[in-house]
Structures are given as structure tokens and as C-alpha cells.
Amino acid sequence: MVNVAHTLENLHHESRSFRPHAAFAAHANATSYEYKKAGVDRLQYWREAALRLAWRQPFTEILDWSDAPVARWFHDGTLNACDNAVDRHVREGRGDRVAFHFVGEPGDTETLTYSDIHERVQKAANGLVALGLGKGDRVAIYLPQIPEAVVAMLACARIGAIHSVVFGGFSAESLRQRIDDAEAKLVITADGGNRRGAHLALKPLVDEALASHGEGTAHPEPCASVEHVLVVRRTGQETAWTEGRDVWWHDAVDPQPAEHEPEWVEAEHPLFILYTSGTTGTPKGLFHTTGGYLTGAAHTHRIVFDLKPDDVYWCTADVGWITGHSYIVYGPMINGATQVLYEGTPNTPHEGRWWEIVEQFKVTILYTAPTAIRTFMKWGEAIPQQFDLSSLRLLGSVGEPINPEAWMWYRRVIGGDRCPIVDTWWQTETGAIMISPLPGVTATKPGSAMTAMPGVCVDVVDDAGRPVPNGEGGYLVITEPWPSMLRGIWGNRHRYVSTYWNHFDGMYFAGDGAKKDVDGDLWLLGRVDDVMNVSGHRLTTTEIEHSLVAHPWVAEAAVVGASDEVTGQAVVAFVIVRGDAHGVPEDGDEVAAALREHVRHQIGSLAKPRTILVVSEVPKTRSGKIMRRLLRDVAEDRPTGDVTTLADPSVMDAIRTGLEAGTGD
């Protein structure tokens, strides 16, 4: 672990505080009674939250922690996630409510009610069964942000299959790793999607992922587990076809009957696997189960976003990330929300696209990431000001610490100084929001996620695991189990225990640094391990280093996350080129360009280093460990910190001199 002290120094004192407006507080879903109730009896609080779900067979036990740190919540109950998100609304007379206003990037739109989704999801469930899928089978989903992505996830849940959504920005190689690890039987994809006015192909990447990658590679054999590839026609691109394996969605799903009885599963039946970057370089398949996860997602969505029947809610995340799982698919749909689902980027075809969508659909609740807010700040407030944003009543932020300037801009320019902001801290692992203001209750400070949610116990501890006093910082931990906690890493209990539970006795270690201010409110300070947060996407230094050294030109690579005004952090790589490599361009820029493309191909565009610097050495300790702290100083153009532990202190001078001489990108 890294010492968090240096990050703490940068935190300025914040004296501004914004109380909820009385009019908002008067009608808010949550009052301070939530904290009181949870404080009196935490388990009873969660029991009541779970009872808001539709259970087929009611549960009698709330929490079984006897196999800690693997929790079992509500374990003797049975239910179905799709029944909760869809059927229940139809059954209770809400079928005509709009579930999604879908907006495609080229401008195509589609309105889908809960009844429409009900019909589609039953057909899709029958289609999956016809392809031989059943309870417990794993399905990889690699789709653009289109309604079929939501339908595919829910159809898996409906038959008890376990979905593993892989974000469309990942490469064929990353997709293959995830398919192999989960031993997926089916891949659901599309011919392509729309990105910045162009067609982005997806099916060819699936073909590449499933094929043999050749002798001597990590995948000498074709993928063994996948039996079928189910393909949605989205762009109409020409697509290579493997007879017997590939099937069109419109052939396999559309003709199916629209009646399907959900598979009633135990509360602890796995609902999905979601891969996140692991510190050892191979992604970890975190998995969540049904009853506890749905309780956490739906409950937090209702009280943090204050959802009312008339709201139009827009979460701008991709369904390929946990935010899309919990706050597009499961939480909001269980609560019967009307949502916007947008396929594209914020600046296609113009930089006001989001605000045009807010105006058009009268969006009332917007949930997005600080990196997007900072991008809009850069584009200038004149752009959002051209649109009517008066429908907005609540703003949310997630994915990385939000700097006070961005918070204030969000509040003033987008929220017209009237909308409460909820800065929500959580992780793929936590399944649902853990730290956040409650919008009608909490007086908020710009840049602070404020306090733990009712029923959630967090603390900030020092190296020895002792709680720090107010005014001090340390490591963020969660001290009691919670319903939506991950149940493990797919197929690897040992890695689950050692990653999260071995740092501090009996406490979940989040990997984040945090500070308690003088009032005890929480400020998140970013990761304290080698995880980087680039535009809210999680990457590790090791996986990018592995990718770089796999290139024949590279002898050694060291990667750091350097602060970046827009993306929060950016990937900066230091590489040493092999002396004996053939065909290496003289020009450092050309080397950098080729290596960036190599990383994109291996991991995906999201991992492409912003900067690659060709150097002759990297700084190491006497025991051979790379000193990333010093490289970060170079990447952020700061004077180099303490070099006394370096094996060869002159290395830093050599790097600086070399870069000044222009060998960098």
C-alpha cells in the first residue's frame, strides 16, 4: 500500500455548505428517520428494504455471516430479478409507463413501455432456452448501448443464467480472457454500434476473440466453451458468418412466443459477473447474487435519487459498467423509473447533444461522472445555456473524486443553483452506493461525498487499522457486511479474501484513501493501490505494463496514472526500448504511436496511454521495485521527490535530461 499523506496535503479546507431547499426536503423520499431506523437496528432496516422486492418464497433469515467473508443475505427466499424489474410493473398496472426513451446516436429514437420490455424479454428468454441455455450458464454480452443490451441482461436473469457484460470498448483479447474465465456458452453481440458518426464494428472482434490466436500465443486453441453467437442487427454492416455457431437475434428471438415463466432462484443465486482490472494483471470476475444485490440497488436508487413516478431519470453510464448494471438496469427498473438511454458520445453531432436530450425529454434527474462535467466546463457554459434545463431537479456524480470547481460549475450551470448534488462513492465490489448525501436531508460540501448511507458502516483507519480522528486521513474500510456486497471473485475464493479482507482484520479494504474533516464528513482521495482511474474507468498499471512488454521492441515498461485536468488521471508510460530489436523507428514519436496502437489492440481504446516516454532507465529501489512515485513527479512535471532509496540516484537526472533532449512523445 502507498502512503496517503502526500494526497492529504493537497486537500484545501472547504467552508461552503449547501442545505437542501425546504421545498425539496418537504417531498423527499428519505428523511433523517432513515439514519435513525438503521442506527437502532441495522439488520431490521435491511430486512424492510428487502421486503420491498417481490419474493416468490419469503425469506426468514436476514444475514448469515458464518462463512465470513462470504455473506449470505435473505438466503432462504426465492425470487427472480427480471420479475422484479419488469413483470411486477405489468402485474400491478404500470405496464403503460415508459421504461426507456432510447436515443440512438444517428438520431433514431424508440419509446419502450414496461409492457413492451415484458414482451421482448419473454421472447428473448425463450430464444435463449432454445439455444440450450439454462440456470447457472454464463452468457457474455458485448453490445452497444441499445435496448437489446438491457433486454439481454434481463432475459439471462429471467432464465437464471449469469450474465457477464463486457464493455464494447474492450479489445478482442480482453473479451476472450473474460469469456474463458467465465466459460461462457453464449456471446450476445451486434454487427456494430454508432460512435462519433461512424459505424464501430463489434462482431468481427467477437470472431477474433473466439478464434485461435496461433501457436505460441496465450490462446493457441479456438475458444472451447462458446456454442453460439447471437447477433443483433444494429448498423447493417456486412458481417462474416460461421454457420451453425452464429444466429441473428431477429431469427432466434423475434419469432418466439411472448410467454415465459421466470426461473425462481434462491436469493444467493449468482446474477452476474463483472470483470474489473486486477492488480496482478489478470481481470477479476467479481460476482453478485440476486436478493441482496437487488435490495441494495433498488433501495439506494430510491432514496439517493428521490425517484418519483413523474421523474425522467438519465444515468449516462454504459451498461457495460457496474453503474449501468445498478443504476440503469436493476435499481431504476425495479423502482419503475422512466429513463433515457443514449447510445452515443456527448459531442456527436454537436457539443450540446446531452442538453438537447435533457430539454427534449424533460429529464429531471441526471447521474454522470466528473470527467464529463470537466469536459463540458472546457467546452464552455454558453453551450448548455442554449437549452432549457429547467426540468432538472437532482444531479448525481460518480466514478472518481469530484473537484470543488467542477461541483460548483455543475450546481450553477447545469442545476441552476436549485438542484441538490449527490456525490456517490461506491465500487463494482459494493454493488450499490455506500457513501452519499441524502438529497432532502444532508447539507452538502462541494467535493465531499459526505457520510455513509443508512445501514452502511464505513470508517477511515490508519496503517494499523485503528480509526483516525476527525481532521485526519487514512484508508477507507467497510466494517460490517452489506446486502449488495460482492460474494467473491469467480472461481477464486483465495484471491477474494487476500484482495479485500487481509489488510485489516475483519474489515473490507476498499483500496481508496479518505479523510474525515473536522465535522467527520468524508472526502475521497483516490486509490492507494496501483489502480488508476481514467475518465471513471478502472485500469491497473500492471496490465498496461504487461501489454507493453509483450511488444517485441520493449525491454521494460513502467506505467503511472498522472493527474489530468479532464480525465482525472491519464496513463503515462515510460518504456525502455530493446537494444537488439529490429526495425525500431529512430523517432520517439513513431515508437510511441505504434505502442499506443498496440495497447489499444491488446486491452482496448480505454487503456491507450496518453503519453509514452522513451527512456534509458527507470528508477528502482535496491530490491528492484519500480518507484512510480518518482515517475509520477516527472509525468506531472514536478520537481523529483526523495531519491535516497534509489539503487542509482542518477537515474532520475538521466530521465529528465533525456526527455528535455526530446526523446519523449
Give least dist CB 510 to ligand PRX, A. 6
Q: Judged by CB under 6 A, does residue 449 bind ligand PRX?
A: yes
Cβ proximity to ligand PRX, 194 vs 567, nearer residue: 567
Q: Is 75 labelled a binding residue?
A: no
Interface map 137-156 toward ligand PRX (x if CB under 6 A): --------------------
Alpha-helical runs (H) found in 20-146: 22-27, 33-40, 42-50, 81-82, 88-91, 114-130
Q: Judged by CB under 6 A, does residue 538 bind ligand PRX?
A: yes
Helices (H) and strands (E) in the chain, counts: 22, 30
Element of type H or E holding 381: none
The distance of Cα 99 from the centroid of its chain, to the nearest Å, equals 22
Distance CA 487, CA 413 (A): 41
Q: Judged by CB under 6 A, does residue 399 bind ligand PRX?
A: yes
Interface residues for ligand PRX in 219-278 (CB under 6 A)? Answer: 276
Q: Judged by CB under 6 A, does residue 512 bind ligand PRX?
A: yes
Give least dist CB 297 to ligand PRX, A. 12
Length of the chain, please? 665
Q: Is 86 labelled a binding residue?
A: no
Q: How many CA atoms lie within 13 A of 648 on its CB side?
A: 9
Give least dist CB 504 to ligand PRX, A. 16
Q: Which three cell numbers stand for residue 23?
A: 421545498
Distance CA 89, CA 92 (A): 5
Q: Judged by CB under 6 A, does residue 455 bind ligand PRX?
A: no
Q: How many CB atoms neighbour CB 2 within 10 A? A: 13
Element of type H or E holding 547: helix 541-549
Distance CA 629, CA 544 (A): 17
Among 126, 424, 567, 602, binds ligand PRX (CB under 6 A): 424
Q: Is 663 labelled a binding residue?
A: no
Q: Judged by CB under 6 A, does residue 425 bind ligand PRX?
A: yes
Q: Judged by CB under 6 A, does residue 423 bind ligand PRX?
A: yes
- Cell 513527479, residue? 633
Q: Judged by CB under 6 A, does residue 473 bind ligand PRX?
A: no
Cα R_g (the chain), whole angstroms:
25
Give least dist CB 218 to ligand PRX, A. 25
Cβ proximity to ligand PRX, 113 vs 442, nearer residue: 442
Q: What angle do CA 473, 478, 480 make, to 5 degrees?
A: 145
Q: Which stretch binds ligand PRX (CB under 6 A): 72-80, 135-143, 410-418, 526-534?
A: 526-534
Give how many residues touch ligand PRX by CB under 6 A. Answer: 22
Q: Is 177 labelled a binding residue?
A: no
Cβ proximity to ligand PRX, 126 vs 368, nearer residue: 368
Q: Judged by CB under 6 A, does residue 620 bind ligand PRX?
A: no
Q: Which three cell numbers stand for residue 146?
A: 441499445
Element of type H or E holding 297: helix 290-304
Distance CA 495, CA 53 (A): 32
Among 533, 535, 540, 567, binds ligand PRX (CB under 6 A): 533
Among 329, 522, 524, 562, binds ligand PRX (CB under 6 A): 524
Q: Judged by CB under 6 A, does residue 299 bind ligand PRX?
A: no
Contact predicate 339/145, CB 8 Å: no
Contacting positions for ligand PRX (CB under 6 A): 276, 322-323, 398-401, 423-428, 449, 510-512, 524, 526-527, 533, 538
Binding-site residues for Mg(2+), in ranges, read 549, 551, 554
